[in-house]
Amino acid sequence: MSETASVPAPATLPTPGNALLEVQGLRKYYPTRQGLFAAGAPKVHAVDGVSFWIREGETLGLVGESGCGKSTTGKLILRLQDPSAGSIQWRGREITDLNAGEMRIIRKELQAVFQDPYASLNPRMRAGEIVAEPLRNFGEMTGSERKERVAQLFARVGLRPDQLVKYPYEFSGGQRQRLGIARALSVNPKLIVCDEPVSALDVSVQAQVINLLMDLQEELGLSYLFIAHDLAVVEHISHRVAVMYLGKVVEIAPKRTIFTAPAHPYTEALLEAVPVASPGLRRARKVLGGDVPSPINPPSGCRFHTRCPYVEARCREVEPPLVAIAPDHLVACHLRPGSIMTDPASGPTPAA
Amino acid sequence: MAEANPASPPVVTPVNSGTAWRRLGAALRRHPTAIAGGVTLLVMILVAVLAPWLGTVDPTDVSPIRRLKPPSAEYWFGTDMLGRDVYSRVIYGTRVSLTVGLAVAFVATLIGLAIGLVTGFVRWLDAIVMRVMDGLMSIPSVLLAIALIALTKASLTNVIAAIAIAEIPRVVRLVRSLVLQLREQPYVEAAVASGTRVPMILLRHILPNTVAPLLVQATYICASAMITEAILSFIGAGTPPNIPSWGNIMAESRSLIQIAGTILLFPGIFLSLTVLSVNLLGDGMRDALDPRLARRL
């Protein structure tokens, strides 16, 4: 692949051969100015070298604070926006250079559930029409087959048949998100990009929707890219978790590892920030100082060095590559013992 | 809408697409002026349709013997310098004005909608088309219509076409701004993600949401087209003089204003009333359909 040439070598991950979706060195820069003088203007580095992969039947949680580029990453994968650089491979096929027509075929396997369950449903369409839209787009069914399929989907996501003819505003937030899920499921996708699907919902409803997603995964063998900022939700649904900071993935590991033995100082700080549900318990909390730096002019070296409690001189100059420190555990930090070793033989997974 | 209470039968769904119209009806009731406008317009339409049965004679019937008669029981609005019955001419003139107003509103809205939808969605076309529209808008619409009429033969169809061309840029601007707004909606993004092709996105997701503001815009175009038609006729660059239009009647009686001012008065009153009624109706619809629109138009 030519990507290895355009992307700095360390950003290339050793990936397993069975990856459904493989993202390498994905970048998206937005111009801060439009028009004639746009070329010289500074750019917002919304996504700046993101790499990960998702296996079949797996959920990858993508977490990070507001503005770290996690939603943009989702949109780039769905090709709702065009990446500035990097590669996205769907079942081994590069999709960044596909035109709209070719991409449409991929969309049958790559669906999405969006954050705002109200705004992502056309207010002038009936619930049944909304769920049927992807089916109509791919036109493989007759009208009556489609009706049957929609009714079946309604039942599967826990909506009543009499709600088929209702309009989105007649549904509650949780029901609307069920509609969104039914729409995504209609064409039997392989992967669903869930862009903060529960963050707009009440906590009790969140649990229902999450459980529905997990049931569906078990039943249909779906994969999810689950974008969220709520660590509790991510811990519940994910198999592996990728942590993003300022447009970069700083750590990827199986869920258990992330939550019990985080390797990156930022992951550590994120976990520290999770509130504990016992008022009597007092912890010595390490609170991060300062604010997230501007993505227009990101810090040199390690992006996190301005706030890192363990910062050293080299962190300010050299950008740490994302490297494996244990099987399936990748970290971008100079201070992790494994990450100092550049010997590729130490990588636990065979390079693709 | 409130949740159905548990005692009520479960499956009945009273709400349907009629809600928008019902909301429109309710809002119109809150605007008595809009009702007045609507009723006046309805009367004018009836007058136009029923013109032959409203005690009129042939509006082009010339009779030099009875020329320049003042209003009387026989000639309600008097007669003009050729002895034609002004009442009949004004009543028949309603047909011309309403035809021009409605036809221009329809044609300009339809063409403007098509251009606006495409330029709003196809970015590279946008710059070109919008510069053309800016150019058209920089010329006052009456002047542009005069220029277009000068290029062709005077006929009702050409008048309609000329006024419509002058009105199209306003529709294009409105539709384009709506499309630019709507295409950023998450449900449009969701439609792209679920594999909807661009034409279907325009048809299913963008078009239905432009109907309400366009309806309002169409009423304003209708009113302004009627005025433009009268202006064109008045200066002799519009409807052919053999057709009794309000502008023509006023143009012919212009020199007689000191001898027989009433000839000019009656078509003037009819024109003002009709334009006012259309504008009042438009204002009522604007408030009913989207209060925020008030600022954009």
> What is this structure's pTM?
0.77
Q: A126: which DSSP letter?
A: -
**Does the CB of A138 have a partner CB in chain B at under 8 Å?**
yes
- A331 CB-near residues (< 8 Å, 6+ apart): A250, A251, A253, A263, A264, A322, A323, A325, A338, A339
CA dist., res. B196 & res. B203, Å (int):
11
CA-closest candidate to residue B162, choices B128, B136, B130: B136
Q: Do residue B195 and residue A169 have CB atoms under 8 angstroms apart?
A: no
Evaluate if residue A55 carries a pLDDT over 80: yes
Where in B7-161 does DSSP place strands (E)? none
Domains of chain A: 2-56+67-103+241-275+283-300+317-350 (3.40.50.300)
Parallel/antiparallel/unpaired status of strands A223-228 and A240-245: unpaired
Looking at the complex, report in whole angstroms how far the Cα of residue A187 sits from the nearest Cα belonging to chain B: 9
CA-closest candidate to residue A72, choices A32, A16, A40, A29: A29
Name every chain A residue with its beta carbon within 8 A of the beta carbon of B16.
Answer: 165
| Residues A150, A132 contacting (CB under 8 angstroms) | yes
- Best A133, A136, A165, A194 member to test B by mutation, with max B CBs in 10 Å, is A133
- Of chain B, the end-to-end C-alpha distance in Å amounts to 30
CB-closest option in B11, B189, B194 to A137 = B194
The CATH code that applies to domain B17-296 is 1.10.3720.10
What are the residues facing A331 on neighbouring strands? A251, A323
pLDDT tens for each residue of chain B, 297 residues long: 344 444 433 333 344 445 667 766 776 677 788 889 999 999 999 999 998 888 788 888 888 888 888 888 888 888 888 888 999 999 999 999 999 999 999 999 999 999 999 898 888 888 899 999 999 999 988 898 999 888 888 889 999 999 999 999 999 999 999 999 998 889 999 999 999 998 899 999 999 888 888 988 999 999 999 999 999 999 888 888 888 999 999 998 888 888 888 888 999 999 999 999 999 988 888 777 765 544 444
Looking at the complex, report in whole angstroms how far the Cα of residue A284 sits from the nearest Cα belonging to chain B: 42
CA dist., res. B120 & res. B178, Å (int):
8
**Does the CB of A30 have a partner CB in chain B at under 8 Å?**
no
Q: Do residue A134 and residue B195 have CB atoms under 8 angstroms apart?
A: yes
**Does the CB of A153 have a partner CB in chain B at under 8 Å?**
no
Looking at the complex, report in whole angstroms how far the Cα of residue B244 sits from the nearest Cα belonging to chain A: 45
Rounded to the nearest 10°, the torsion over CA A191, A193, A197, A199 is 130
Q: What is the predicted ipTM?
A: 0.82
For residue A20, which phi and psi values (nearest 5 degrees)? -80, -50
| Residues A257, A61 contacting (CB under 8 angstroms) | no
Name every chain B residue with its beta carbon within 8 A of the beta carbon of A112.
Answer: 190, 193-194
Give the chain B residue whose CA is nearest to the CA of A169.
B1
What confidence tier does A42 reach under pLDDT thresholds 50, 70, 90?
confident
CA-closest candidate to residue A231, choices A217, A245, A221, A241: A241
Evaluate if residue A285 carries a pLDDT over 90: no
Q: Do residue A187 and residue B194 have CB atoms under 8 angstroms apart?
A: yes
DSSP string computed for B214-253: HHHHHHHHHHHHHHHHHHHHHTTSSS-TTS--HHHHHHHH
Q: Do residue A112 and residue B200 have CB atoms under 8 angstroms apart?
A: no
Looking at the complex, report in whole angstroms how far the Cα of residue B38 sits from the nearest Cα belonging to chain A: 27
Q: Do residue A120 and residue B190 have CB atoms under 8 angstroms apart?
A: yes
Name every chain B residue with its beta carbon within 8 A of the beta carbon of A140.
Answer: none
| Residues A80, A156 contacting (CB under 8 angstroms) | no
Write the single-letter amino acid at A151. A
**Assigned token pair, A275:** 């509130």
